[in-house]
Amino acid sequence: MARRYDPERRQRIIDAAIRVVGAKGIAGLSHRSAAAEADVPLGSTTYHFRTLDELLVAALRQANEGFAKAVAGSAVFEAPRSRLAAGLAAVLGDWLAGDRTGVELEYELYLAALRKPALRPVAAEWGDDVADRLARRTDPVTARALVALMDGICLQVLLTDAVYDEEYARDMLARIIDGAPGDATGGATPGDES
């Protein structure tokens, strides 16, 4: 019997892996569970992804696109520098208010890199991309600090089921961009409060 040409099969397997992780967590993902979810033979998953780590890398790379699309779809990088904090806070708010399952899934795959070294370079990609874009508006150190703060705010919202506070995020992001009191950018130093 001739093999049927199926150019979309690899993508269907990635999509299925993401659905499996969304429903059962990382521990529930296997070549077998992805094949069943994608409705393809088990051999197809191992043909396209020799190891489970390869499948997880592909799933994480695709999941990472969620925040990247939110940033790319905004005008935050074209706005005046004075609006950068407000723009970033708004993008975070829009992303967190969107598909919550997708956001949680993105972070679950992202945090899987703690135990799976093969995922670490991919986990770092979104942060590196956003930091590179922000460095054009600020500087590399400030850009990395902004990414770390946004990442931390997102994790806190997801882990505590807290309501995202856009005003707080904007204020904290502005502190990093403009320099908080007491830092080397000209703010008051400790003891200068008088």
DSSP states along 70-112:
HHHTSSTTTS-GGGHHHHHHHHHHHHHHS-HHHHHHHHHHHHG
Residues 53-58 have a mean pLDDT of: 92
Q: What's the pLDDT tens digit per position in 79-89? A: 777 899 999 99
The more confident residue out of 92 and 1 is: 92
Model-wide pTM > 0.75: yes
The more confident residue out of 94 and 183 is: 94
The yes-or-no verdict on residue 107 having pLDDT over 90 is: no
3-class DSSP state of 8: coil
Q: What is the pLDDT, as a whole number, of residue 75?
A: 81
What is the dotted CATH code of the domain comprising 64-178?
1.10.357.10
Map tokens 């919202």 to a residue. Answer: 157
Map tokens 């997102």 to a residue. Answer: 154
Q: What is the pLDDT, as a whole number, of residue 111?
A: 87
The yes-or-no verdict on residue 194 having pLDDT over 50 is: no
Domain map (residue ranges) of the chain: 9-62, 64-178
Lowest mean pLDDT among 67-71, 104-108, 149-153, 178-182: 178-182
**Cβ-contact 160, 153 below 8 angstroms:** no
Q: Which of 88, 83, 92 is nearest to 163 (CA)?
A: 92
Lowest mean pLDDT among 90-94, 112-116, 140-144, 167-171: 112-116
Q: What's the pLDDT tens digit per position in 22-42? A: 889 889 999 999 999 999 999
Q: What is the pLDDT, as a whole number, of residue 4?
A: 64
The CA dihedral of 152, 127, 107, 61, to the nearest 10 degrees, is 180
CA angle 176/89/152 to nearest 5° reads 65
Class of the domain covering 9-62: mainly alpha
Q: What is the pLDDT, as a whole number, of residue 5?
A: 65
The yes-or-no verdict on residue 189 having pLDDT over 70 is: no
The more confident residue out of 34 and 65 is: 34
- Confidence band (pLDDT; 50, 70, 90) for 3? low
The yes-or-no verdict on residue 158 having pLDDT over 80 is: yes
The yes-or-no verdict on residue 135 having pLDDT over 60 is: yes
What's the farthest any 2 CA atoms get from each other in the chain? 86
Map tokens 């403009």 to a residue. Answer: 178
Q: What is the pLDDT, as a whole number, of residue 18?
A: 92
Rg (CA), the chain: 20
Q: Which of 45, 89, 47 is nearest to 71 (CA)?
A: 89
DSSP 179: -
Write out the two tokens for 147. 């990414």
